[in-house]
Amino acid sequence: MRLRVVSRSIMLLAVCLALAACSDPPQLPLRVGLNPWLGYDTLVLARERGLTDPAKLRVVELESSSESARQLRNGLLEAAGLTLAEAIELASSGVDVKVVAILSLSKGADAVVAQPGFANAASLKGARIGMENGALADVMLQRLLEAGALQRDALALSRLPVVEHEAALTRGRVDAVITFEPVLSPLLAAGYRVLLDSASMPGEVVDVLVVRSDALSARPAQVRALLRAFEDGRLALLAQPEAAARTLAAGTDLDTASYLHALESVRLLTLEDSAALFDTVPDARVLALGQLVSDLKASQRIMAEPDWTKLFDGRVAADVLAAEKRP
């Protein structure tokens, strides 16, 4: 009798172990890479305000967008905030990624800033230019060359992460930098001169949320939570701009007022704006896709135009919006 009870217990234990082995392992947080850029700060704010679930999302702060792209390529991140130029380059190199949200448009928050002695783009002939090793930096360089009627070999290029731009310029290591907020404002306050900015490049300097296709297929709920977090952070910023700016400026060299002023040169898109744009790609008037592709080709970052229908995926944004409307 005792043997039968023991045998039954062993069988029950075996069944339990088999069921445990068949159950799905716990899902790790979705890793999203962000470099220092005001347009990504809404997600940082959402995290700081406790609007994100750390069990679902993990924000990985990196010093450059090129590092975000590298980690996304190598599977160290599932998602990243990138410029549209970088997303196009990544897709063109064979990495299977999707643009699932259009986050912001730069209206002067990206610029070529030079020492006071340089009057215009043409005057930079022979100058030393500090810039990130990224697709957008090369797009802006291409526009700078066009504006100054310069050849690429007329400039001495130094590839520097954005965190080194201010020191490189102020210490005289370079004559100009291709940079962006929040680095731009302190340089302008110090008297450095803008020779070109994104206000003259409408629709080209665009920031997007990029997700690896395998992660999107396997973890759609987490991707939806990521989009929701960006939107919740944007709404929190609008509701209490000064309080939000105090939180976000702490990670920059800007005070609260300067942060808010810098933010005026960035258009943060709503989730509805983003979803609407997906329906008009590649003919969206807000996105200068043709010009952007032309600049990327001229700078030899890509060889051909990407398949827009494969790169842009508006289904996640549509799902998030649909969920909001349900009773």
Q: Which tens digit of pLDDT belongs to each residue from 275-297?
A: 999 999 999 989 999 999 999 99
Count of CB atoms situated within 10 Å of the CB of 48: 18
Identify the pLDDT of residue 140.
Answer: 97
Query: Over pLDDT 70: what percentage of the chain?
Result: 92
Burial of 315 (0-12, 13-18, 19+ CB in 10 A): middle
Q: Tens digits of per-residue pLDDT, 42-57?
A: 999 999 999 999 999 9
In angstroms, the CA 1 to CA 81 distance is 66
In angstroms, the CA 232 to CA 210 distance is 18
| Rounded mean pLDDT, 156-162 | 95
pTM of this structure = 0.90
What domains does the chain contain, in order, with CATH numbers?
30-105+205-325 (3.40.190.10), 110-200 (3.40.190.10)
Query: Over pLDDT 90: what percentage of the chain?
Result: 88
Identify the pLDDT of residue 14.
Answer: 52
Identify the pLDDT of residue 15.
Answer: 46
Provide the b/e sequence for 168-185 (b: ≥16 CB within 10 Å).
Answer: bbeeeebbbbbbbbbbbb
- When pLDDT is cut at 50, 70 and 90, the band that residue 253 belongs to is confident
Q: Do residues 75 and 247 lie in contact, with contact meaning Cβ atoms separated by under 8 Å?
A: no
| Rounded mean pLDDT, 82-111 | 97
* 289 phi and psi angles, rounded to 5 deg: -65, -40
Q: Do residues 219 and 87 lie in contact, with contact meaning Cβ atoms separated by under 8 Å?
A: no
* 266 phi and psi angles, rounded to 5 deg: -125, 130
Provide the b/e sequence for 110-127 (b: ≥16 CB within 10 Å).
Answer: bbbbbbeebeebebbeeb
